[in-house]
Chains A and B, each alone.
Chain A
Amino acid sequence: MATAAHAGHRLERRYARLGVFLIAPTIVVFSLVIVYPLLAAIYLSFFSVYTPTLEGEFTGADNYIRLLTNAAFWNSLITTLIWTVGTLSLQIVFGVGMALLLHQNLWFRSLARSLVLFPYFVSTVVAVLVWRWLFNDLYGAINHGLMQLGIMDMPLDWLGTMPNAMIGVILVGAWKYFPFVVIAVLARLQTIPEHLYEAAKIDGAGPIARFFDVTLPQLRSVLVVIILLRAIWDFKEFDLIYLLTGGGPVTSTQTLSLLVYQEAFALNEMGQAAAYSIGMMLVMLVFMLVYIRRTAREA
């Protein structure tokens, strides 16, 4: 008995060692691509660094004091929040709506299910170029169409004035990323047992009551995960906004990612940029903590 227990103990230790050995490569790669850049950014944020030469001098907390006292960071944070909340809301509304539609027995369902993924798969550069052409104030299809329909009589400068530029960015963002919501919600919809709907029908629930009493509660867990993930991704979105408006007009659509980029590569202030990105990371940490707590609870 004693020897058997001892042998079992030894086996357990051997498994533990094997476990460490198996996750070691992940830890090494993770350290190289995540931990090192993070530490480097924190280090850089205490210097005043000239980007082209990466030379600079230690300035202590100056960069952080400027972050807190200058309006640039806070304005950008507000812009980022407007963009994130705006585009995410549209993604969820259109995503859930489209998923419900594609869950119905339509004759073109499988074709539509593949087509709906198109915006998500198309390269951001290509998508943005097409949208910029659509939004163009002189020869854009949107102005042309709206004027033909008689909704406007003057062409509108979509990306060059506010709030049009923000609305444009939010719309393109929603168009680009709502398919992600569709896929996740559609997958969940297909696992909702048909019996729940039938029971609800017999219990006297109409279509709207069935949506709120059966569908929505069943979608809750997946929606929480989607909203948190998309919030994190939208919060740090760069290429779409950079390509569409470049942060303009002036800084009206300059989100934090764009601010960091501008500071680092246009103003050549790598130290200040690092401080901004640390600030941005701290904001994102809030999302991440919520996400981790949520997923831990679901598990």
Chain B
Amino acid sequence: MAEVVLKDIRKEFGTFVALERLNVAINAGEFVALLGPSGCGKSTTLRMLAGLDFPTAGEISIDGRVVNDVAPGKRDIAMVFQSYALYPHMTVAQNIAYPLKKRGVARPERDAAVAKTATLLQLEPLLNRKPRQLSGGQQQRVALGRALVREPKVFLLDEPLSNLDAKLRSYMRAELIELHRRIGKTMVYVTHDQLEAMTMADRIAVMHDGRLQQFDEPEIIYNQPANRFVAGFIGTPSMNQLEGAIAGSSFVINGEQVPINRALYEQALKDGPVVLGIRPENVSLSGGSLPATVRLVENAGHEQIVTVEIPGGHRLLAREASGQRPSVGQTCQIGFDADFIHLFQPGENGSRFETTGQAHVIPMQAQRSASDES
């Protein structure tokens, strides 16, 4: 087990700045997801950890040792590639044994290690096959096996599940969680899939435009997003964001007032422009004060996503339990659950106003049941 520290990392490709002032400290044995849209710098970060790319400035250390000038093969890391990168001319057994062979491990020990890994990943019946004779999920497991076999300090996984179909992906997700629990090694996992990050990671580093946006536990990322980007990126459908202003103790949009929990925010707020964020599950279609018209109803079976339009042309999403189905064109008075209202600084990626006093943490379980009840 080893901790991984990225200190003041900067990475330039020519004139393009891919990463700026990146500071991440990963604890030993932790499962960390690097999450962000494509081009956010998450893969570059992982490649620098692996030693396949080099930071323009800053310091990378693994287990207390600065590894900026250490070759990939000597960093004691293993990586699983999105494309698996299995050696096509070698059998499954040879693929798994390769990293040991290159480190001069003797044949009997190699065979024993391969057998052990194969048992762990249920690869025994496939050991003599070539990669092209395997399904995507099997190739994935071989790639994992090649990473596991020499028991490295740190595992790096670059979107390892994105080439699998939806069913297999959720299966492998569970397998990986189980695997991490069993071997307890530090894992850094790059993904653009928030569901993977939320379900698997101990902590998530949300990245955008080469900058770290937030690095925290999934629940905190979900319930206390650091800024508008994180709020919009995490959650499906994403958080509604309304640009308006604070006047007195209310949020005002197009002359309509939305009551907010003044007690929670009074320290942080002055009158002035602000962005209100509310997740679809905290929007109710009745009993509120904001007039709205139903524009679209998407039924997903267990729930429905309702698009409503409020005066001024803003559209909002509301997540409703299935059952009574609103009809398109119907008018209603929508309301927001005041406990779940977030306020952000105006501007493209405004920060969230931190609340003072009582922490605004709602356990996800409570939140889920709250949304189910609505």
Contact = CB atoms under 8 A, between A and B. Distances in A.
B326 to A, nearest CB: 48
9 contacts: A195-B85, A198-B50, A199-B79, A201-B71, A201-B73, A202-B51, A202-B72, A203-B98, A213-B87
Contacts, number: 59
A267 to B, nearest CB: 52
B52 A198 contact: yes
B83 A203 contact: no
Contacts of B87: 196, 199-200, 213-214, 217
Given A195-B81, A220-B89, A203 B52 contact: no
Given A204-B73, A205-B73, A199 B85 contact: yes
Given A202-B78, A203-B73, A205-B73, A196 B85 contact: yes
B102 interface: yes
A5 to B, nearest CB: 35
Contact of A202 (B79, B83, B86, B89): B79
Nearest to B102: A204
Interface in A171-210: 193, 195-196, 198-206, 209
Given A201-B71, A201-B72, A202-B79, A209 B102 contact: yes
Contact of A195 (B72, B77, B83): B83
Given A205-B102, A217-B89, A199 B73 contact: no
Contact of B81 (A198, A209, A217, A220): A198
Contacts of A200: 87, 98
8 nearest A-B pairs in the assembled complex, by CB-CB distance:
A204-B73, A195-B85, A204-B102, A199-B85, A217-B89, A203-B99, A201-B72, A202-B72
B170 to A, nearest CB: 25
Contacts of B77: 202
Interface string A132-154: 00000000000000000000000
Contacts of B81: 195, 198-199
Contacts of A213: 87, 98
A215 to B, nearest CB: 11
Interface of B: 50-52, 71-74, 77-79, 81, 83, 85-89, 98-99, 102-103, 146
Given A193-B85, A201-B71, A202-B79, 16 more contacts: A193-B83, A198-B79, A198-B81, A198-B85, A201-B51, A201-B52, A201-B72, A201-B73, A202-B50, A202-B52, A202-B72, A202-B77, A203-B99, A204-B102, A217-B89, A220-B89
A213 to B, nearest CB: 7
Contacts of A209: 102
A203 B72 CA distance: 8
Contacts of A203: 73, 98-99, 102, 146
A204 B85 contact: no
A201 B52 CA distance: 8
Q: Is the interface of A mostly helix, strand, loop or mixed?
A: helix
Nearest to B98: A203
Contact of A204 (B83, B88, B103): B103
Interface in A207-229: 209, 213-214, 217-218, 220
Nearest to B74: A204
Contacts of B103: 204
A197 to B, nearest CB: 9
Contacts of B73: 201-206
A177 to B, nearest CB: 28
B68 to A, nearest CB: 16
A209 B98 CA distance: 11
Contacts of B51: 201-202
B80 to A, nearest CB: 9
Interface centre among B51, B77, B89 (most CB of A within 10 A): B89
A218 B74 CA distance: 26
A204 B86 CA distance: 15
A196 to B, nearest CB: 5
- Residue among B73, B83, B85 with max Cβ neighbours from chain A (10 Å): B85
Nearest to B50: A202
B90 to A, nearest CB: 8
A8 to B, nearest CB: 33
A199 B73 CA distance: 9
Contacts of A202: 50-52, 72-73, 77-79, 99
A200 B146 CA distance: 11
A77 B67 CA distance: 61
A193 to B, nearest CB: 7
Contacts of B99: 202-204
A217 B102 contact: no
Contacts of B146: 199, 203
B139 to A, nearest CB: 13
Interface string A249-266: 000000000000000000
A201 to B, nearest CB: 4
A192 to B, nearest CB: 10
Contacts of B78: 202
Contacts of A214: 87
B205 to A, nearest CB: 22
Contacts of B102: 203-205, 209
Given A195-B83, A203-B99, A203-B102, A217 B88 contact: yes
B55 to A, nearest CB: 17
A107 to B, nearest CB: 16
A130 B85 CA distance: 48
A203 B88 CA distance: 15
A206 B72 CA distance: 10
A148 to B, nearest CB: 45
Contacts of A205: 73, 98, 102
Interface in A105-163: none
B50 to A, nearest CB: 6
Contacts of A199: 79, 81, 85-87, 146
Contacts of B89: 217-218, 220
Interface string A220-253: 1000000000000000000000000000000000
A218 B90 CA distance: 11
A198 to B, nearest CB: 5
